[in-house]
Amino acid sequence: MNTEQKRLSRPEAIDIRETGAPVNGESQFSDLRLFFQLHVFENCSDPKLIIETLEKGRLNAVLYDDLNHLTGIGVLLVAEDPAVLITESRDLLLKTQETPDLSYRPEMTMIGRTYSSGREPNLEEWLINKPRQNVLNPDFPWAIWYPLRRKSEFYRLEHRERGRILGEHAMLGRSYAAGGYASDIRLACFGLDTNDNEFVIGLVGPELYPLSRLIQDMRQTEQTTKYIESLGPFFVGKVRKQFGAHP
In this predicted model, what pLDDT tens digit does every residue of 108-129 receive, in sequence order?
999 999 999 888 899 999 999 9
pLDDT of residue 170: 86
> What CA–CA distance (Å, rounded) separates 242 from 244?
7
Alpha helices in the chain (DSSP H): 3-9, 48-56, 82-96, 123-124, 130-136, 152-155, 159-178, 208-218, 222-227
Judge whether 205 and 183 are in contact, CB under 8 Å: yes
The one-letter code for the residue type at 11 is P
Is the alpha carbon torsion for 55, 115, 68, 107 positive or negative?
negative
DSSP 246: -
Tell me the whole-structure pTM to 2 decimals. Answer: 0.91
> What CA–CA distance (Å, rounded) separates 78 from 37?
7
Binned at pLDDT 50, 70 and 90, residue 24 comes out as confident
CA nearest to 57, candidates 35, 34, 76: 76
Query: Between the CA of residue 24 and those of 21, 27, 28, 79, 121, what are the distances in Å?
Result: 10, 8, 10, 31, 11
Tens-place pLDDT, residues 157-200 = 998 999 899 888 889 989 999 999 999 999 999 999 999 999 99
Tell me the domain boundaries of the chain. 35-243
Q: What is the mean pLDDT of residues 226-237?
A: 96
pLDDT of residue 246: 57
Binned at pLDDT 50, 70 and 90, residue 3 comes out as low
> What CA–CA distance (Å, rounded) separates 95 from 103?
12
> What CA–CA distance (Å, rounded) separates 143 from 207?
9
Residues 35-243: name the CATH superfamily.
Apc35880; domain 1 (3.30.70.1030)
Tens-place pLDDT, residues 191-201 = 999 999 999 99
Query: What are the backbone angles phi and psi of residue 44, rounded to the nearest 5°?
Result: -100, 95
Residues above pLDDT 90, as percent of the chain? 73
2 by Cβ neighbours in 10 Å (0-12 / 13-18 / 19+) ranks as: exposed
